[in-house]
């Protein structure tokens, strides 16, 4: 029973933390209600399958897969190219669909070549701290805006929505740190459930409308047509794959650190297998015309909050997610989950990430060097977050998508600076 309830909690967390991306992208591409529902179905279905692939043949860690932020950015860029480089939204989506396939093959090739193993050594405590801090800083604004009902420029803060979100936030903190182990273990499930009820009572949640029609609905393959060759997308996929590898390694590194420090578990090194599984997952994303998945660092905060470090609940939750996506009536229930509730619960979870970041920095033996590395990485990464994306509109698409991402650029800068210091130290010894 504990495994089933834990699995339900994983399923709710996975869906709640992932559903915003396909909804936002569907809106950008002008999809109608039916197309949006199918796009959500395909994306969540791929995420559930991706979790199972990682659990059985990949890194074998309780890390949920989510829509890659980098791919999200590329979707935004390509949505702006409709009627300029692509005649219709379908043509742009067809190119993106093909890009997922290219990325999948590149993942597998790079993993088999051994490059993944060499790159793992770059993620030292200093670099991991920089990555975690940039991640939380980048997302904190999104969480807070979602909690107060601000979606775009000009929106006013919704006071009642804020009070409801704040109440959910308090409930999440209370359940996460409750003296009763069963309460802390299922804190996410309890918080989302209680928050949903609260938002229904204050009139800030839509009523559930069950879909009638098909009981079972399987996602379609190649929704936007057969794969096409797009040289621009090929280059973009190459850049994105390299950065997603770095993202994947950081997420695995964070979970490994948590398991060692909090659970005395030393997992085997399966970085190469994780990269191959990520390649397979991207192939699935291409087949089902969905968003490319990536291991989510926030899973470490979830595991730290719920104290569920084993794979059984994670696998159970992934199976539940896959089954849910095949039943339209259940998907329609999750589609009306108040986003502010999801943002409030996720905000609390990500506070664990900040705690982990400082523990990582404390583990660095050479503190002086670590301060210099993280200072530059954080300043550049955060600075980029304040540069409007429109100011990079004249750059090539792939370059604009990368340079506008403070998380990736800040982490890369930290890696370069630390490797420079290490090179100098080795040269001094010689």
pLDDT tens digits along 242-276: 878 878 988 898 899 899 988 989 999 899 999 99
Cα–Cα separations (whole angstroms), residue 233 to 6, 43, 84, 108, 294 = 40, 20, 15, 18, 19
Query: Cα separation of 59 and 53, whole Å?
Result: 9
Element of type H or E holding 56: helix 33-57
Query: Cα separation of 239 and 277, whole Å?
Result: 19
Query: Cα separation of 225 and 96, whole Å?
Result: 11
- Condensed to tens digits (0 to 9), the pLDDT of residues 370-405 reads 999 999 999 999 998 888 867 877 777 667 767 777
DSSP 82: B
Query: Cα separation of 93 and 275, whole Å?
Result: 25
pLDDT of residue 222: 95
Other beta carbons less than 10 A from residue 14's beta carbon: 26
Provide the phi-psi class of 24: left if phi over 0, else alpha when psi is between -120 and 50, else beta: alpha
pLDDT of residue 430: 46
Cα–Cα nearest to 116, from 267, 273, 256: 273
Mean pLDDT by 10 residues, the chain (430 residues): 87 81 78 82 95 96 88 75 82 93 94 81 84 83 83 80 93 85 78 90 78 76 90 77 83 90 90 94 96 88 86 95 87 74 82 82 88 94 85 73 78 91 76
Cα–Cα separations (whole angstroms), residue 174 to 137, 169, 380 = 23, 9, 35
Cα–Cα nearest to 81, from 401, 307, 421: 401
Query: Cα separation of 62 and 295, whole Å?
Result: 10
Pairing mode, if any, of strands 65-67 and 293-295? antiparallel
Q: What's the predicted TM-score (pTM) here?
A: 0.76
pLDDT of residue 290: 95
Cα–Cα nearest to 407, from 367, 368, 353: 353
């Amino acid at each position: 029973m504990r495994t089933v309830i834990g699995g339900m909690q994983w399923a709710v967390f996975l869906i709640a933390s992932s559903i915003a991306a396909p909804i936002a992208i569907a809106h950008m591409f002008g999809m109608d209600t039916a197309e949006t529902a199918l796009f959500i179905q395909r994306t969540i279905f791929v995420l559930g399958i991706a979790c199972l692939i990682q659990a059985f043949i990949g890194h074998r860690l309780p890390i949920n897969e989510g829509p890659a932020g980098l791919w999200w950015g590329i979707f935004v860029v390509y949505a702006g190219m409709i009627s300029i480089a692509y005649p219709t939204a379908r043509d742009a989506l067809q190119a993106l669909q093909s890009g997922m396939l290219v990325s999948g093959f590149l993942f597998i090739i790079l993993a088999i070549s051994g490059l993944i193993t060499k790159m793992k050594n770059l993620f030292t405590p200093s670099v991991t701290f920089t990555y975690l801090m940039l991640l939380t800083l980048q997302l904190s604004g999104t969480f807070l805006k979602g909690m107060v009902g601000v979606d775009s420029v000009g929106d006013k803060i919704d006071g009642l929505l804020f009070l409801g979100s704040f109440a959910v936030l308090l409930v999440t903190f209370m359940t996460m740190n409750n003296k009763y182990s069963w309460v802390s273990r299922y804190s996410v499930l309890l918080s989302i459930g209680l928050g949903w009820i609260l938002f229904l009572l204050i009139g800030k949640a839509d009523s559930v409308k069950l879909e009638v029609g098909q009981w079972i609905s399987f996602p379609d393959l190649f929704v936007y047509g057969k794969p096409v060759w797009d040289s621009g997308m090929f280059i973009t996929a190459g850049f994105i794959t390299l950065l997603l590898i770095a993202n994947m390694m950081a997420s695995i590194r964070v979970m490994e650190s948590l398991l060692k420090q909090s659970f005395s578990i030393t997992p085997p090194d399966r970085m190469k297998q994780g990269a191959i599984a990520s390649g397979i997952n991207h192939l699935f994303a291409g087949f089902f015309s969905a968003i490319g998945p990536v291991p989510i660092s926030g899973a470490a905060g979830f595991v730290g909050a719920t104290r569920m470090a084993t794979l059984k609940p994670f696998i159970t939750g992934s199976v539940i997610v896959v089954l849910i996506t095949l039943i339209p009536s259940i998907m329609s229930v999750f589609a009306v989950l108040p986003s502010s509730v999801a943002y409030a619960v996720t905000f609390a979870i990500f506070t664990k990430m900040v705690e982990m970041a400082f523990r990582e920095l404390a583990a660095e033996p050479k503190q002086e060097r670590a301060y210099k590395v993280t200072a530059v990485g954080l300043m550049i990464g955060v600075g980029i977050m304040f540069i409007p994306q429109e100011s990079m509109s004249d750059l090539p698409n792939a370059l604009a998508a990368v340079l506008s991402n403070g998380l990736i650029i800040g982490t890369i800068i930290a890696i370069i600076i630390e490797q420079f210091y290490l090179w100098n130290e080795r040269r001094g010894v010689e």
